[in-house]
Chains A and B, each alone.
Chain A
Amino acid sequence: MSVVWTVARQLMAECVRMKVAVVFVLLLALLLLGLPFAVQKHGPLTDAVQSFLSYSLSATGLLLGILTVFLARSLADEMVNRQILVVMAKPVPRWQFILGKWVGMNVLNVVFLAFSALVIYGAVYYLRATHPPVDEELDRTRLAEEVLVARQAVQFRLPDFEAMAEREFQRRLEVGAYDDVMDFDAAKERQRLAKRVEAEWRVVGPYEVRVFQFENVLCDRRPESTLQIRYKTEVYNYAPDEVFRAVWWIGDPEQGTPVYECRTRHIVGRYHTVTVPADAVAPDYTLTVRFQNRNPFAGEPQFRNVIEFLSRDGVEVLFGVGTFEGNLLRLLVLMLCKLMFLSAVALLATTLFSFPVACLVAFTIYVLAGTRGFILESLDFASADQAGWFTSAKEFAVHLIRSVYSTVSVILPDFGYYDGVETLVNGRNVTLRWVLEGVVSVGFLRTGCLLGLAMLLFHRREVSEVSV
């Protein structure tokens, strides 16, 4: 192990002495320091902090990704300048040499990541202190409650639409609604009814009330802490100047909790948040939320003023489960896992190719890992319900590309899936489970495979071989 560390130290010394570290810090400063001032110009504090966080974290990830690939240059240089001949004449097992390089690269990654995180963290607090307030108190609470926090989300429990459909079905059966239907298919009718019941349930007509039930709202139930109801609605056929008003009652008097009433006016198609004290949650950690559409009848049938909750956007309850700092830390771990993988890619490519080619390969893989999930999804879509026989050249190509991608995906992690920046920026919890999954799948298994391969190739190679 002492040899691994010696090699790692040498790489770090090189990075520092060759001014890589200094230049990195300067570049990062260039990327990050102007930003707080740039985002101050527009919008409320929360938006400014969110756009700053989102931009700076992505930029740091990109810059560190590039940097870690260039750090593999240490190995390439050593092979070109032949220091490797001296090192390999020492009692240094080759795998330890490669491992040492990798360790060195990733110690630097940790240091750089920590440095960037400190800068970003500092900048957020700077923004918070200096941002020209629109409404000071409101701005700050919003930031604290919706961004600088790690919140867990709970979706409402869907009513049992099938049971409801069954009841309706039985009722219709009794009144003889199906008596004169030809080729009556009960299963199909049940399905149709279930769909209809759900659609009806999601639509809230004028002055109608809808009840949402949440379970496992495992929040801190003291009245000082808060929780948020986040929702988005759709409305069909409304007059352009129509105002949509609604009332929320949050809490369940039957369980003895206070009930908080919130009157809202909202814009269709955008997310809105209602914040209430957390003691609205019942002792068994359930939460009852009632919603009433307060828009009057428009009188005309095409402007019914109904509010619709679409299934994928729904209504969710968000409550704090951790701090922003913890969240940031977990996000950094996820980012580090990617860098660990990338450094293994870079080392593997360097043992195989000359440095420029290795860079090209590593960057391509970087981009590929980022777009992999997306590409596979679109390929899935393109080749969906394929009957096995290729009816056209295009379908064949899609199949071919798909199989190539699925093969590559075995070793290529889905960077898109492990991208937690969006989650952090929205003040959502970067869950420990997710991070551990990333650590095991990206940082451990996939990195290990590539590193092992690099060691194997390097072990078999004649280090004095010259490739021109």
Chain B
Amino acid sequence: MARRVLPVVQTAGLCKTFKDFWRRPRVEAVKNLDLEIRPGEVVGLLGPNGSGKTTTIKMLLGLLYPTRGRISLFGKAPTDVAVKSRIGFLPEESYLYRFLGAQETLDHFGRLFRLPTHVRRDRTERLLDMVGLRHQASRPVGEFSKGMARRIGLAQALINDPEFLILDEPTSGLDPIGSRQIKDLVRELGRKGKTILLSSHILADVEDVCNRVVILYGGLERAQGDISALLSQKDRMQLTTPVLTPETLAEVRRLLHEREQADVLHVSHPRDRLEAFFLRIVEEAQAASVGTSGARGGGVVPEFLKKATQADAQEVVESLIAAARQPLPAQVESRRERATGEPIESGREAARAVIDELLGVQPAPAAPEVDEPRLPVEPAPRPAEAPRAAPRADRKVIEELLGGTPPGEGEGPQKEEQP
């Protein structure tokens, strides 16, 4: 950090105990949480169901009052009304007015932010475009599918061009395109200097977009730190090549053995990720203009959101992203199979165990394996979760689904940011 700026969020010893009607303590949802989010950070709040993510977020927004501890939001109390105009919030379910149309919903929330009419109109249009619901703009939100409502929820959270965006499980209920768009959006916004707090139990979401994670379990913070530091394996490499003949492969092995005294651990055809494959199919359908009453297209981040809010935060973020981003289509990848990096801020062994448990990691097999198909069903690209082989039956279905995929096409190109 170049210079010490006022943190967006700072909590100290935050506790929340839910009490029952007779004021007897029932659930300790958050215990002693110290959280600091600096401007420009994209922080992932990770934890299994019921670990206190939503409770934490509600306390940050003043929707719940902490039992103990302090919260400051942009240096103010969470109950301060003025501070809320700098915040965008997407709750864990899109709680929208069922009788309002999509456009009216955005307009309504824009009015609550006291936005002038022309700004409101403009942003509503652009956000509807972004979430791909321009063609459903006048339908009442009550008729929407969960994912469509989610998109409106997201648009609603951005109507005020917030400096600080809180997303509670943003991808839940979204189709892969939607969740990909959200991830792209978060990445884009992060790059433009927005501060983002993203809660999720879907690891891939967090891994793809966040530069720092806080892992909660049972209301306690178990670990926090920089994602790339937490996950990178410094002692391995990954090599992607065109299909090699067995002879060449043998030659490569021999060469490796001679030069580096190392064995090739793993040889396989890279698979298309299901996410990439799915996106391609849908893109093709859209190109052929197949009609749908659902969400369509979108994904273009409107210009008004791109304004950087703080110049120096921008630089910080750029550098953070540079560190975190993996150039996926490149020839050589540093291969990450299990988290060997110590969590930066908590070196405890216990914390390691929890992360491992969360990430579902098993010890890497010692012997080199050949052609083990990896089929993450969720759009979870990283091999970190891969060793959990999908159950056989599921695998067959997926094989069928992927039947037409030409092998060896390589990783679907990771969508880079638009220039």
Contacts and interface: CB of A to CB of B under 8 A. Distances in A.
Interface of A: 2-3, 6, 9-10, 13-14, 17-18, 81-93, 462-465, 467
A2 B110 CA distance: 11
Contact of B62 (A82, A86, A88): A88
A13 B93 CA distance: 23
Contact of B108 (A6, A18, A463, A464): A6
Interface stretch (B96-104, B131-139, B239-247): B96-104
Contacts of B85: 90-91
Given A91-B112, A92-B81, A86 B99 contact: no
A465 B95 contact: no
Given A85-B58, A90-B113, 18 more contacts: A2-B114, A3-B111, A10-B97, A10-B100, A10-B108, A13-B99, A13-B104, A14-B97, A82-B93, A82-B95, A86-B96, A88-B61, A89-B63, A90-B84, A92-B84, A462-B65, A464-B58, A464-B63
B287 interface: no
A82 B91 contact: yes
Contact of A91 (B91, B93, B114): B114
Interface in B59-90: 61-65, 81-85, 87, 89
A83 B65 CA distance: 18
A100 to B, nearest CB: 10
A77 to B, nearest CB: 9
Interface-centre pick from B81, B100, B109 (highest chain A CB count, 10 A): B81
Contact of B111 (A2, A13, A14, A89): A2
B224 interface: no
B140 interface: yes
A3 B114 contact: yes
Nearest to A19: B99
A2 to B, nearest CB: 6
A87 B140 CA distance: 18
Contacts of A83: 95-97
A455 to B, nearest CB: 14
Interface in B227-264: none
B314 interface: no
Given A464-B63, A464-B64, A93 B97 contact: no
Nearest to B85: A91
Contact of B109 (A2, A84, A85, A90): A90
Given A6-B112, A89-B89, A91-B84, A462 B61 contact: no
Contact of A89 (B21, B87, B96, B99): B87
A464 B18 CA distance: 11
B95 A6 contact: no
Contacts of B83: 91
A462 to B, nearest CB: 5
Interface-centre pick from A2, A88, A91, A463 (highest chain B CB count, 10 A): A91
Nearest to B87: A89
Contacts of A14: 97, 99
B156 interface: yes
Contact of B84 (A9, A17, A89): A89
Nearest to B99: A17
Contacts of A81: 95
A303 B78 CA distance: 88
Contacts of A17: 99-100, 140
A18 B140 CA distance: 12
Contacts of B61: 85, 88-89
Contacts of B109: 86, 90
Given A13-B99, A91-B113, A86 B65 contact: no
Contacts of B89: 86, 89
A10 B99 CA distance: 10
Contact of A462 (B64, B97, B108, B153): B64
Contacts of A6: 108, 111-112
A146 to B, nearest CB: 48
B102 to A, nearest CB: 14
Contacts of B21: 467
A272 B1 CA distance: 95
Contacts of A467: 21
22 contacts: A3-B111, A6-B111, A9-B108, A10-B97, A13-B100, A13-B104, A14-B99, A17-B99, A17-B140, A86-B96, A86-B109, A86-B153, A86-B156, A88-B63, A89-B61, A89-B84, A90-B109, A90-B112, A91-B81, A91-B83, A464-B58, A465-B64
Contacts of B95: 81-86
Contacts of B153: 86
A83 B98 CA distance: 10
A92 B83 CA distance: 11
A92 B112 contact: yes
Nearest to A94: B81
Interface string B140-160: 100000000000010010001
B337 to A, nearest CB: 40
B65 A87 contact: no
B99 A18 contact: yes
B139 to A, nearest CB: 12
Contacts of B63: 85, 88-89, 462-464
Contacts of A2: 111, 114
Given A13-B99, A462-B65, A93 B81 contact: yes
Contacts of A10: 97, 100, 108
A85 B60 CA distance: 12
A461 to B, nearest CB: 9
Interface in B354-411: none
Interface in B23-37: none
Nearest 5 pairs of A and B residues by beta carbon: A17-B99, A89-B89, A6-B111, A91-B85, A464-B63
Nearest to A14: B99
A10 B108 CA distance: 8
Contacts of B58: 85, 464
A304 B327 CA distance: 120
A84 B64 CA distance: 12
Contacts of A87: 112
Nearest to B62: A88
Nearest to B108: A10
Contacts of B100: 10, 13, 17
B371 to A, nearest CB: 49
Nearest to A96: B81
A82 B81 CA distance: 19
A82 B96 CA distance: 8
A304 B91 CA distance: 88
Nearest to B98: A81
A321 B308 CA distance: 70
B265 to A, nearest CB: 49
A89 B160 CA distance: 12
Nearest to A10: B108
Nearest to B94: A86
A18 B100 CA distance: 10
Contacts of A88: 61-63
B82 A91 contact: yes
A92 B111 CA distance: 10
Nearest to A465: B64
A81 to B, nearest CB: 6
A57 B156 CA distance: 45
Interface-centre pick from B84, B97, B111, B114 (highest chain A CB count, 10 A): B97
Nearest to B21: A467
A17 B153 CA distance: 21
Nearest to B140: A17
A90 B99 CA distance: 20
A62 to B, nearest CB: 27
Contacts of A91: 81-85, 112-114
Contacts of B111: 2-3, 6
A150 B25 CA distance: 64
Contacts of A92: 81, 84, 112
